[in-house]
Structure 1
Amino acid sequence: MTIHLHDFDGEHSLTLDAGGLAADAAVVAAGHEPNGYFWEGLVRFAWPDIAEQVDFDSEAGMFCAIGSSSDLARLRMAVEAVITSPEAVRDIIARAEASGFEFDD
């Protein structure tokens, strides 16, 4: 799996290596770059309650969220269901764009 939970000196993070994901083709077809910044935007739109509780340190090649282990566990479950489902990604992108949300990818 490309999602990893880390615990360094009491700081918890969740990382996702961007690229090579089942949903990448759907992201590209929607006109976006499937990089860490895109996935950060998707999280901010799709799960704002979780996004408010974590900090982000994403890069082009990696999505990264930093927060409590419980918030990151919830986020991991949500993201795992989406990165393997092009249909779910297409749906979230369509809802985001219809609402005026802009991805920063």
Structure 2
Amino acid sequence: MDINNLKEQIKPFFWVEHSNSFSVCLDAGGYKDEIFNTRADEGFEGNGYDWASLANVFIEEKRPDLGENIRFDPEAGMFCAYSSNGEQLKEFILDFKKACEDEDVIKDLFSRAELD
């Protein structure tokens, strides 16, 4: 897949290439806030840690084949997933973004996310 096409498909996530690894990140806040607001009373804010928790459930349930090669490094203001395997990270973000765009799927996954 052409990298520019990938970048367009995964927005508002963004792709970063490093010398020996790859990252996909999201500035927390704004995208899918309505999902996180459903559990605000539990402490979810839609920050980077909350996104990592959601992404963990996604990996465990939908793409366990990627679990060994995808890692998360969230911060309060940013979600970040990284891997030395660019192809697997591309698979992850394309599938995760598709899940995020399906309201029923993302709500179901988020129902099992744990507050970090």
Question: How would you bin the TM-score normalised by the shorter chain?
Answer: 0.7 to 0.9
Query: Which residue type is aligned with residue 94 of structure 2?
Result: M
TM-score, reference length from structure 2:
0.73
**1:55 alignment partner in structure 2:** 71
How many residues align? The count is 98
Higher strand share: 1
Q: Which string of whole-angstrom CA distances, capped at 9 and with x for unpartnered residues, describes residues 22-70 of structure 1? A: x211211222211111111111112122343222211111111110101
Cα distance, 1:82–1:63 mapped onto 2, change above 3 Å: same
Identify the match of residue 26 of structure 1 among 32, 35, 40.
35
Cα distance, 1:51–1:6 mapped onto 2, change above 3 Å: same
Cα distance, 1:51–1:40 mapped onto 2, change above 3 Å: farther
Q: CA RMSD in A?
A: 1.7
Distance in 1 between the 2:30 and 2:101 partners? 11
**8 Å contact kept, 2:58–2:96:** no
**8 Å contact kept, 1:15–1:65:** yes
Counterpart of 1:58 in 2: which secondary structure? coil
Distance in 2 between the 1:77 and 1:3 partners? 10
2:22 matched to 1:6?
Answer: no
**8 Å contact kept, 1:43–1:51:** no
**Relative CO higher for 1 or 2, CA cutoff 8 Å, sep ≥ 6?**
1
**1:79 alignment partner in structure 2:** 96
Show structure 1 runs of 5+ residues with no match. none
Give 4+ residue runs of structure 1 displaced > 2 Å after superposition.
82-89
Cα distance, 1:20–1:85 mapped onto 2, change above 3 Å: farther
- Percent identity for Structure 1 against Structure 2: 28
Distance in 2 between the 1:27 and 1:52 partners? 26
Show structure 2 runs of 5+ residues with no match. 1-10
Query: Which residue type is aligned with residue 59 of structure 1?
Result: E
